Every structure is written in C-alpha cells, then in structure tokens.
Structure 1
Amino acid sequence: MKLQTVAGSTHISTVVLSKLVGMAAKMTGGIASMPTSWLEGITNKLSGGSLQNGIDLKVDRSTLEINIKIVVKYGVKIQEVCRELKHNVKETVEHLTGLTIEAINIRVEGISLKQANA
C-alpha cells in the first residue's frame, strides 16, 4: 500500500498490515485461534507468517478492507468478542499506519471446546 504525502511516499506491505491485524487479534480476549486453509498454513509456516492466519486484506489506494476468520472460545459472548476485535484492529492499524479502514469483516468459523488447564 502506498501513502502519498507532500514530503514523499511511504510503502507499507500487506505482510506488515497482516501482522498488525494479527497482533491486534492476539490482544483480544475470547479468540481461540485464527484458522487457515491447508495452503495458507503451509505458506505461513514457510514464510514465518504465523500472525497472518485467517487474515485477508483488500487494498484500494488509501483505503483498506480487512477480512478476519476466527474460532472463539466456548462460553464467551461472540458479539462482544467481535466488537472488541474490530475496535482493536481499527485502533492498531489506523494509529500505526495512518490508513483509513473501510470495513472490518469477521467470520466466526467455529467454537473451541478445549478447556484451559486450571
């Protein structure tokens, strides 16, 4: 993604944007994982992109659409987890990059029934 200013231009790769989204997702409580297809999983392991699982970006000039797939923990309120995730992603990406986020779409792919060890 290219940002043009009076002083020049800045290029931010989609890999960096995906990692920022992944970091914001890790800060969100109630998310068990971010699933990937088998091809994404292999690609991310080879490239070291573990924070990019389940994240798809659509970039158009200075706007960004973010699509995130998540698995939530059993017993959490899905609506609240999604609201917190959207807030965290928007705050992180807009604050650190100056980009305008057009949309954040979240797809809940499942519920994790694993119990945390007490």
Structure 2
Amino acid sequence: MADKNQKGGLRFSTEVLETIAGIAASEVDGILAMSGGIVEGFTERLGRKNLTKGVTVELGETEVAVDLKVVVEYGRNVPEIYEQVVKNVERAITNMTGLKVVEVNMYVEGVGFPDESAPREKEGDKDAARVR
C-alpha cells in the first residue's frame, strides 16, 4: 500500500497536528483545560485561540507522537480519561491526516472543578504526574 503522505508532496505542519490533538483532547469529558506548563505559571480554559496550548507533537515521515499537558476535573478517574484521550487523539489525527500515532503522553498539571476558572494545585508539589 502506497503512503498517501508521500503522494503529491502532502505534508502537515506541527501546528495543524497540535490543533487536531488539542481539539480531540478537549472533547473528552473530564478534561477541563490544556495547560501551558509550569514555565507560564498559569492555565487557561480552552478557547478557539488556545487550541494548541499544552500540546506538543513530534512529526516523522509517516508517524507522530503527541504530548498533552492537561487540567482534569476533580474526582474523576484519570486513567479512564487518559484512555479516552488516546482514542480521540489517535482517531482524529489518523482520520484527518493518514499519519500513524505512535505515542500519546498526558501530563496532569492541575485539578479543578468545572465552574472554576483556575485549577487547584497541591501546595508545594509543582511536578506534574505523568500517566502512561
């Protein structure tokens, strides 16, 4: 089977892939926001202009790896949220681009409530928990 990404020189920018992954992750119940990370020192709720916030992709010729920094809803089962995020991100990227998603990593950087504008972080604990 011929690689459709090679035909006609079709290529995707990392920003396009980050946008696709950000939208797919934001559709999962339990994801409150994408996080800009510790460097920026704050998180923002998802909005049209912030769809790539907290999303990083590594792009190869036919494969892509995705890293997501998220804020999850307090009291939710994070491993279940992660499984749904992986399914959504893989499906969205593969369906739209034909690229194979080889890895999706989700870093939980905060916990919040749906009606809050900012997540609650455990005081003194600035390291994000990595779910794999």
Is the pair's TM-score, using the shorter chain for normalization, greater than 0.5? yes
Partners of 2:58 and 2:67 lie apart in 1 by 8
Aligned pair count reads 106
Q: What displacement does 1:87 show?
A: 0.4
Percent identical residues: 28
Q: TM-score of the superposition, structure 2-length normalised?
A: 0.73
Higher helix share: 1
Partners of 1:17 and 1:59 lie apart in 2 by 9
Provide, for residues 69-105 of structure 1, a one-character-per-residue CA deviation record: whole Å limited to 9, x for no partner: 1110011110111110010000000011000111111
Q: Return 5+ residue gaps in structure 2 as ranges.
A: 117-132
Q: Which amino acid aligns with 2:71?
A: V
Paired residue for 1:11? 11
Q: TM-score of the superposition, structure 1-length normalised?
A: 0.81
Q: Which one has more relative contact order, counting CA pairs under 8 Å at least 6 apart? A: 1
Partners of 2:76 and 2:64 lie apart in 1 by 28
Q: What displacement does 1:110 show?
A: 1.8
Higher strand share: 1
Q: Which amino acid aligns with 2:90?
A: K
**Residues 9 and 80 of structure 1: CA distance in aligned 2, closer, same or farther (over 3 Å):** same
RMSD, aligned α-carbons: 2.2
Q: What displacement does 1:9 show?
A: 1.5
**Residues 60 and 115 of structure 1: CA distance in aligned 2, closer, same or farther (over 3 Å):** closer
Partners of 1:77 and 1:19 lie apart in 2 by 25
Paired residue for 1:20? 20
